[in-house]
């Protein structure tokens, strides 16, 4: 029999008085723990306490998904840390009651079990997961500027021990079911074709309980060991996240260091700290980035287009890496260049990527077999997507598309990876110029999540939608941009990087100081290191294409380095010397410089160009511009995007004035 009084939960009792408790959130494609869902669960637990069943199996009513976490949409409704802490304590009380139920509480996990969903599962007595590719468990909370707040920090450190639990929570990585079983997050696995329902029923009838923490886990939570481990983890975290920008990881480490052997004290600290964090500026900024990402993902769903084969023309760094990435996403790719000797280096780089990402020999072999050298271009006629990625020259690109247009199969996407050339200049030689779109990837392809989907007024709208769908298919965020010199990302980066060159050339500000000032602001790397990473030849090409107010002296400085073969990271030397993939920087080159003032001057052209791009309609609105800057330039995610930051900078107590005015800067002591 079922109980109809709940909107999001179903209760069914079998003949042995086992209760099958199913979460199936009404009106949603996935389960999340909203206030209403938790309130109904509280009423259900009331009933269990009054009339205990033989056991309860907690399961999901959604296909291939358990619970993806708390309902992030409700976070913005809380502005007071004390109110947030009180709400968190209410959930703690509920989950503690579940943990204290006098009968077996078994949870079955298939698909995503994340954040609050995993915290709910940890409050149950026995956890069974389906061991297939779809099942993933983890705590993504640090990406939202908080740490697990529904009892996760206390229960996970108690169950796994400090080192394993902290690594899981601080990395926000998702683990497969088999990894979760090895760690102790789950107690039993059911094979891909196994029956979770029968495994759960057996666990109830046999009154199975979680094995609990092992000896090493228990020892790691003792005082002397905690202090030692906390210090090591804090140091490792500092190498990845500035505590001034991202306080959540350090709040978690501190909480465990002080209260790791007292679960109740850890829960109380969790309520206080997460209540502070969730109402802070970092969490608000990161939540906005979360919604920007969600919007780009949804934009990629506007067309049902699905590719099977891709053909890439140009096996240089960009073309070869685009090809390898597409293979990594399961596609078959033909890679074309003038001779095999130009393709072989791309195959070698791809092999390294496959080995690092796939690890298993059979999967690596499968990937290598799907990347096919194709000097003659036979793959063009079979490809669903053709991407041109040769050097930045209008005439050369025109020749490529003039040649391939008659050979394309109907419905294939025809795209250029140009970084700055307006689309109409390339398309002018085509019989059907409306068919050409831009798919502008960023270097390094395997790490940069954004692709600019470029169009102009003559471009076919369906082709644009198909391009966005293709980006989503290969796990990249599609950003629709208007064709204009530099598009969005390069147009904004150009004056920012030019300002750095100007300060270096005219005022003698060290390249290390320029980079450190930008990173102190929150950028992932500074403008000089970025120029080296992108390639000084690419930077010079973009600078020449953009024209306008570009300084001839800055262009001359870049040209001199390029003429010497100093192209940046890819040649081993640019502004910096590069060794083992790292720039060699002077240790004291930024000493005695007012880095905050320097960052203000560096960032102002960036902000001014963002406003200009929005005014010129390069993207449709503020959100898309901020998304492009966060995912395309690495703009400090905790600030929520440049336009969002400018609108909220006074609340953050930071710089950047609305009108772009600057004061005299002092970069001295």
CATH number where 451 lies? 3.40.50.720
For residue 656, is pLDDT > 80? no
Last residue of a domain, one of 436, 468, 483: 483
Q: Is 512 exposed, middle or buried (0-12, 13-18, 19+ CB in 10 A)?
A: buried
Q: Would the pTM count as exceeding 0.85?
A: yes
pLDDT of residue 104: 96
Express as a percent the part of the chain with pLDDT over 70: 95
CA distance 443 to 543: 17
Q: What angle (nearest 5°) sits at the alpha carbon of residue 405, between those of residues 399 and 411?
A: 145
pLDDT of residue 535: 85
Region 574-601: mean pLDDT is 89
Could you report the per-residue pLDDT of 206-250, keeping only the tens digit for each?
A: 999 998 888 888 888 888 889 999 999 999 999 889 999 999 999
For residue 515, is pLDDT > 50? yes
Q: Do 219 and 330 belong together in one domain?
A: no
Q: Do 108 and 34 belong together in one domain?
A: yes
Q: Extract the tokens encoding 483.
A: 């064709």
pLDDT of residue 216: 86
Is residue 660 one of the residues assigned to a domain?
no
Region 334-356: mean pLDDT is 96
**130 in Cβ contact with 196 (< 8 Å):** yes
Q: E strand or H helix at 393, and its extent? A: none
pLDDT band at 588 (very low <50, low <70, confident <90, very high): confident
Is residue 4 one of the residues assigned to a domain?
no
Which phi and psi (to 5°) does residue 633 adopt?
Answer: -115, -5
Q: What is the CATH number of the domain that holds 22?
A: 3.90.226.10
Which of the 8 DSSP states describes residue 435? G
Could you report the per-residue pLDDT of 409-447, keeping only the tens digit for each?
A: 999 999 999 988 899 999 999 999 999 999 999 988 999
Region 42-60: mean pLDDT is 96
HSE-up of residue 130 (Cα within 13 Å, Cβ side) = 23
Is residue 286 one of the residues assigned to a domain?
no
Nearest to 311 by CA among 227, 232, 379: 379
CA distance 375 to 341: 10
Q: Do 130 and 272 belong together in one domain?
A: yes
The residue written with tokens 């204290």 in the block is: 100
For residue 530, is pLDDT > 50? yes
**454 in Cβ contact with 479 (< 8 Å):** no
Last residue of a domain, one of 483, 511, 529: 483
Q: Do 470 and 537 belong together in one domain?
A: no
CA distance 281 to 295: 21
pLDDT of residue 225: 87
Nearest to 148 by CA among 207, 88, 201, 202: 88
Nearest to 166 by CA among 111, 217, 127, 121: 217
Q: Do 178 and 317 belong together in one domain?
A: no
**159 in Cβ contact with 168 (< 8 Å):** no
Is residue 454 one of the residues assigned to a domain?
yes
Q: Do 189 and 212 belong together in one domain?
A: yes
Nearest to 154 by CA among 109, 119, 186: 119
Q: E strand or H helix at 1, and its extent? A: none
pLDDT of residue 665: 39
Region 111-126: mean pLDDT is 97
Q: Do 466 and 496 belong together in one domain?
A: no
Mean pLDDT of the chain: 91
Which phi and psi (to 5°) does residue 359 adopt?
Answer: 70, -45
Q: Extract the tokens encoding 638.
A: 């905790």
E-state strands within 266-347: 309-313, 332-336
Q: What is the CATH number of the domain that holds 647?
A: 1.10.1040.50
CA distance 92 to 21: 20
For residue 324, is pLDDT > 70? yes
Q: Do 186 and 171 belong together in one domain?
A: yes
- Residue 413 belongs to domain spanning: 299-483
Q: Extract the tokens encoding 636.
A: 């400090």
CA distance 495 to 482: 19
Q: Extract the tokens encoding 357.
A: 């990402």
Number of domains in the chain: 3
Q: Do 82 and 183 belong together in one domain?
A: yes
Q: Do 275 and 161 belong together in one domain?
A: yes
For residue 64, is pLDDT > 80? yes
pLDDT of residue 592: 80
Q: Do 267 and 305 belong together in one domain?
A: no
CA distance 131 to 124: 19
Is residue 293 one of the residues assigned to a domain?
no
Could you report the per-residue pLDDT of 369-392, keeping only the tens digit for each?
A: 999 999 999 999 999 999 999 998
Express as a percent the part of the chain with pLDDT over 90: 77
Is residue 408 one of the residues assigned to a domain?
yes
pLDDT of residue 433: 94
Last residue of a domain, one of 483, 505, 536: 483
CA distance 423 to 483: 6
Helices (H), 135-211: 152-160, 162-171, 177-183, 196-205
Q: Do 470 and 590 belong together in one domain?
A: no
- List Cβ neighbours of 556 (8 Å cut-off, separation of 6 or more): none
For residue 658, is pLDDT > 60? no
């Amino acid at each position: 029999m079922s109980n109809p009084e709940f909107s999001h939960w179903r209760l069914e009792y079998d003949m042995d008085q086992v209760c099958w408790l199913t979460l199936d959130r009404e009106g949603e494609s996935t389960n999340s723990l909203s206030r209403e869902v938790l309130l109904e669960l509280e009423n259900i637990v009331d009933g269990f306490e009054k009339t205990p069943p033989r056991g309860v199996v907690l399961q999901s009513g959604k296909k291939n998904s358990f619970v993806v976490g708390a309902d992030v949409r409700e976070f913005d409704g809380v502005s007071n840390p004390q109110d947030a802490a009180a709400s968190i304590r209410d959930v703690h009380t509920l989950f503690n009651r579940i943990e204290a139920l006098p009968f077996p509480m078994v949870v079955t996990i298939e698909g995503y079990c994340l954040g609050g969903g995993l915290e709910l599962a940890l409050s149950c007595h026995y956890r069974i997961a389906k061991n297939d590719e779809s099942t993933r468990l983890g705590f993504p909370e640090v990406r939202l500027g908080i740490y697990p707040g529904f009892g996760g920090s206390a229960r996970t450190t108690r169950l796994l021990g400090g080192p394993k639990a902290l690594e899981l929570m601080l990395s926000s990585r998702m683990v497969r079911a088999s990894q979760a079983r090895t760690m102790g997050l789950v107690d039993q696995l059911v094979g891909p074709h196994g029956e979770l329902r029968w495994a759960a029923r057996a666990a109830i009838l046999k009154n199975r309980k979680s094995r609990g923490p092992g000896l090493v886990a228990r020892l790691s939570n003792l005082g002397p060991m905690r202090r030692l481990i906390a210090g090591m983890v804090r140091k490792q975290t500092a190498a990845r996240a500035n505590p001034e920008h991202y306080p959540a990881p350090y709040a978690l480490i501190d909480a465990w260091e002080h209260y790791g052997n007292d679960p109740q004290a850890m829960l109380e600290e969790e309520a206080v700290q997460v209540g502070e964090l969730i109402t802070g500026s970092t969490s608000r900024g990161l939540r906005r980035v979360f919604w920007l990402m969600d919007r780009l993902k949804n934009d990629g769903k506007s067309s049902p287009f699905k590719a099977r084969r891709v053909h890439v023309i140009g096996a240089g760094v960009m073309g070869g890496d685009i090809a390898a990435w597409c293979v990594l996403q399961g596609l078959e790719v033909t890679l074309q260049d003038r001779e095999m000797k130009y393709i072989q280096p791309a195959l070698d780089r791809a092999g390294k990527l496959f080995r690092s990402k796939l690890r298993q020999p059979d999967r690596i072999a499968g990937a290598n077999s799907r990347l096919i050298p194709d000097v003659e271009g036979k793959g063009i006629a079979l490809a669903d997507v053709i991407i041109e990625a040769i050097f930045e020259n209008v005439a050369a690109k025109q020749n490529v598309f003039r040649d391939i247009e008659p050979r394309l199969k109907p419905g294939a996407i025809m795209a250029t990876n140009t970084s700055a050339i307006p689309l109409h200049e390339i398309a002018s030689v085509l019989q059907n110029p409306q068919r050409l779109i831009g798919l502008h990837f960023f270097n390094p392809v395997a790490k940069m999540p954004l692709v600019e989907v470029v169009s102009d007024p003559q471009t076919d709208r369906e082709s644009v939608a198909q391009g966005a769908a293709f980006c989503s298919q290969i796990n990249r965020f599609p950003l629709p941009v208007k064709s204009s010199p530099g598009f969005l990302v390069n147009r904004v980066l150009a004056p920012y990087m030019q300002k750095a060159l100007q300060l270096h050339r005219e005022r003698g500000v060290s390249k290390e100081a320029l980079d450190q000032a930008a990173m102190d602001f929150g950028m992932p790397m500074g403008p000089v290191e970025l120029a080296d990473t992108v390639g000084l030849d690419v930077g010079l090409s973009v600078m020449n294409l953009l024209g306008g107010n570009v300084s001839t002296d800055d262009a001359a400085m870049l040209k001199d380095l390029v003429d010497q073969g100093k192209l940046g990271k890819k040649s081993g030397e640019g502004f910096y010397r590069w060794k083992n993939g790292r720039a060699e920087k002077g240790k004291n080159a930024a000493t005695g410089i007012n880095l905050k003032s320097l960052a203000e001057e560096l960032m102002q052209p960036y902000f001014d160009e963002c406003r200009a791009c929005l005014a010129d309609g390069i993207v449709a609105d503020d959100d898309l511009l901020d998304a492009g800057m966060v995912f395309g330039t690495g703009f400090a995610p905790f600030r929520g995007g440049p336009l969002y930051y400018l609108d909220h900078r006074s609340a953050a107590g930071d710089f950047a004035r609305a009108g772009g005015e600057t004061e005299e800067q002092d970069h001295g002591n």
